[in-house]
Homo-oligomer: A and B are copies of this chain.
Amino acid sequence: MNGQKPPETRDRSELPSQQRRGEFDLIERYFAPLAGPGAFALGDDAALLTPRPGEQLVFTADAIIAGVHFLGDDPGADVALKLLGVNLSDLAAMGARGVGYLITTAWPRTLPEAWIADFATGLGRGQALYDVELLGGDTVATDGPLSLSLTAIGALPTGEALRRNGAKIGDRIYVSGSIGDGGVGLQILRDALPGGDTADRQRAIERYRSPQPRLALGQALRGLASACIDVSDGLVADLGHLAEQSGVRMAVELPLIPLSPLADLIGGVQGAITAGDDYELLFTAPPAVEDQVLAAGQGAGTPVHCIGQVIAEQGVALRNAAGHLVTLDRPGYRHF
């Protein structure tokens, strides 16, 4: 999207309609209108961003491929919101606000232009929801599957980033929202999983297709949380990442985990905590700030729930409703 429009496609009015689907034309039609002021309508070599004094910038990148990270028949707008959402979720986990993003896309030659238009609509919706702007990118055609890559840029006050390595023994463990909807939504779409209330099913599908990054909550947790991560690999796996990076053990009470109303469809709590795609925040904080933590969740519109405590040694330990403590050999994902 560096403005490298071959002049052949410059004046759209001169071209027969079947030629209008050039890569550069797609940029001009669908993506240039999304560009922020620093991106010069994607008409220069690169975009400019003026950082605010006293802020650090935060960067993350994710790639998603049709058939692997989303389903081939997912609507374009949902895929755009998912791509933005999973990246902004990483920024949320650091406590950052969103600033902007760059996107590169490899479109299969057979992809209908209407899908691309819908995709751009989704990006525009995401920009409004999360207060980010398009800063640049590139688009190419491919003989392979639809592949999308996004780099997200966020910002936060210098020195206040939430990290994975700060959990301390005695801290409480919290998770936001509910766990398992993403996994339920995936199985409904991919495997035609039956059962459950219609509204709950729709909500699970929406949470799978267009997860909402917890940006407001992440920012509210700066100065409160001692460690934070977003739940993308599944709650147990992400507990394992916090445990590993912090050098502690995460002791979690299974009955305290806020579950999707449809969790029973995927095996209850054990299914929910090993499914991924929740994009909630999982974090630790000292007991002294518990009231502030709960208030932060209320203020951000995403309730948080205490699910356990940080203890000595390494790994993840889960206690079930009968009070039996299950210690996992490895600090992460495992089938029960």
Contacts and interface: CB of A to CB of B under 8 A. Distances in A.
A230 B45 contact: yes
Interface stretch (A55-63, A171-179, A258-266): A55-63
A283 to B, nearest CB: 11
A331 interface: yes
Contact of A50 (B4, B6, B56, B152): B56
Interface centre among A45, A55, A149, A333 (most CB of B within 10 A): A45
Given A6-B233, A240-B7, A333-B7, A45 B60 contact: yes
* Top 5 closest pairs, chain A to chain B, by CB: A144-B144, A7-B332, A46-B60, A63-B104, A151-B151
A46 B332 contact: no
A53 interface: yes
Contact of A57 (B57, B91, B229, B240): B57
10 contacts: A2-B90, A7-B332, A45-B60, A45-B91, A45-B164, A46-B154, A48-B161, A53-B53, A59-B102, A142-B145
Interface stretch (A130-138, A204-212, A300-308): A130-138
Interface string A133-174: 001111111111101010111100010010111000000000
A254 interface: no
Nearest to A49: B57
Nearest to A162: B45
